[in-house]
Structure 1
Amino acid sequence: MPSGKALLEALRVLRDHEEAAQRGWVLFGALRPDHHKAVEAAAGHGLVELADPVMRAELSAHQGRPVVWAARLTGHGQDVLLYAEASPTPEHRPDGPAAGERLVELRRPQMDALRVYVHLGARLHLPPAEGLAERVRTARQLGNRWVLHLDEEQIESVAYALYLRSLGGSVADANRFARQYGVAFRPNRSTGSAQPTRLP
C-alpha cells in the first residue's frame, strides 16, 4: 500500500480524470505510472473499482478501440477524499503558539466540555470567541492531554465553557484551569452576570 500522501494524491488525480471522462471511467494511459500503481493498490482496499471484462467490452465498443484497463472511485474512495479535504492538515499547523497566543493543555473532561460549548456556538448568550471552533477541531492529542494554541479571548471562552459545566457538575476542571491559566468566570453581584476574572 502506498503512503497516505501518495494514495490521496492518486485518488485526487483519478477523481479529476473521472470528471472529464465521458462515462466516468479513467482509461489506461491517462495516469502516470506511480498514480496507476497507487490506484491499483487502492482497489484492493475498496477505494477504487476496476472495470471487469463486461465493462471493458462496453467501454471498448464506445471508444472504438480495445480498453484493457479502466478505473473509477467507489463511494468509499469519494468519502476518503471528502474526509481528507475537510480535515486539518498537520504540516500547516504551527509548531508553537503565534504572537499573542499561549499553549493550553486540556484534560479529556475539559476538552469534552469545550466541544459541547463550541457545538452550541451562536445559540449561547456568550458564544465562543472567534476562531475557537477551528482551534478545537485542529487540537492535537498528546497522551491524555489535548494541546491548543489560544489567544486570551479564546482562553476566556474555555474558562466560560468550564464554568457552565461546573454549575451542573464538577467544579474541579474549572478550578484546575483557573490555577493553570489565571482566568475564571465568577458571578458579579453588581451586574448580575458572570464575568471573566483574572487571577493573580
Structure 2
Amino acid sequence: MNARQSRLDALRSLRERETGSGYGWVLSTDVPPGLQQSLQTAAAQGLVELADREVRAELSAYEGRPVLWAARLSAQGHDVLTYLNASPAPTPHSTPPAASEQVIELRPAQMDALRVYTNLAPVLRVAPADGLVERVRTAHFDRPNNRWRMTLTPGQIDSVAYAFHLRALSGSVAEANWFAREYGITYRVDGPTSRPRAVRPSSPTVSP
C-alpha cells in the first residue's frame, strides 16, 4: 500500500470513530497504535487536529481519567474525504477500447488546456462531444510516463482537436501541432462553408 492510500485509510478510520464519539474527539484508547502513528503523520500535514492541553483537560474531566491524546479530522481532512467521495473512480487504463474507440494520451499541460475547454462546456457554442466531459473527469494518470490516458470515440477525439484549435487561435499552437502529428487530426477552415472542421490529412500540419 502506498503512502497516499495509507493516509486516506487512516482518515477514513478516524472519521468512522469520530462519528461514534460523544465528544467529537477520538481518544487514544479507541485507536490502535499503528493508526495513531498514521494520524500523527496526517496531523503534520494539516489533515488531522490533535487535542491541545486545554481540550485534553476537558476530555479528562468528562472521562474521569487522564486523556493524554485525542484527535479529530481537521477542516482540510474533512474536505479531502468529501472530495474523494464525490470524485468518480478513474477508468482503469488496462480496459481495452471498443472497436470504434482509441486510447489518447496527453501530457499534463495538454490536459490542462483540454480541461479549460470542457469546463466551459455550458457556455460554448460548439460544445464538447457527448461524453467527453465525463471522460476527461475520469481520465487515468499514468504516473511513470507522465501522461493522462483516456479512451475516446471519434467524435470525442474531434472535440479534443477543436479544443486545441481554440488554444491555437488564442495564442499557443503547440498543443494543436502536437495533436496533429501524434493522432493525425486537426481543425481547418472548410473552403465552401468557411467553417472549421476536423480533418485527418495524410501528413497533418497546423499553421500558426
Tell me, yes or no, whether TM beats 0.5.
yes
Letter paired with 2:179 = F
Contact 1:96 1:103 in 2 (8 A): no
C-alpha distance after superposition, 1:99-141 (max 9, x if no partner):
2332323456644432221121121112112332344343536
Cα root mean square deviation, aligned: 3.2
Question: How far is 1:70 from its partner?
Answer: 1.7
Unaligned runs of 5+ in 1: none
Aligned to 2:46, the other structure's residue is in SS state coil
TM-score under structure 2 length normalisation = 0.74
Aligned to 1:29, the other structure's residue is in SS state helix
Aligned to 2:120, the other structure's residue is in SS state helix
Question: How far is 1:85 from its partner?
Answer: 4.4
Question: Which stretch shifts more, 50-59 or 81-90?
Answer: 81-90
> What pairs with 1:47-62 in structure 2 (closer than 5 Å)?
47-62=47-62
Aligned to 2:187, the other structure's residue is in SS state strand
TM-score under structure 1 length normalisation = 0.76
C-alpha distance after superposition, 1:127-185 (max 9, x if no partner):
11233234434353666755433221211101111222333445564344234323333
Give the Cα–Cα distance (whole angstroms) in 1 for the partners of residues 107 and 42 of structure 2: 37
* Cα distance, 1:112–1:27 mapped onto 2, change above 3 Å: closer
Give the Cα–Cα distance (whole angstroms) in 1 for the partners of residues 172 and 3 of structure 2: 44
> What pairs with 1:8-47 in structure 2 (closer than 5 Å)?
8-47=8-47
Determine what percentage of the aligned residue pairs are the same residue: 49
C-alpha distance after superposition, 1:21-74 (max 9, x if no partner):
222111233233432231233234433222233322212322344434321122
Give the Cα–Cα distance (whole angstroms) in 1 for the partners of residues 12 and 75 of structure 2: 14
Contact 2:92 2:140 in 1 (8 A): no
* Cα distance, 1:5–1:176 mapped onto 2, change above 3 Å: closer
Unaligned runs of 5+ in 2: 203-208
Aligned length: 198
Aligned to 1:130, the other structure's residue is in SS state coil
Give the Cα–Cα distance (whole angstroms) in 2 for the partners of residues 109 and 4 of structure 1: 23
Q: Identify the residue that residue 63 of structure 1 maps to in structure 2.
A: 63
Which of residues 187, 190, 202 in structure 2 aligns to 1:188? 190
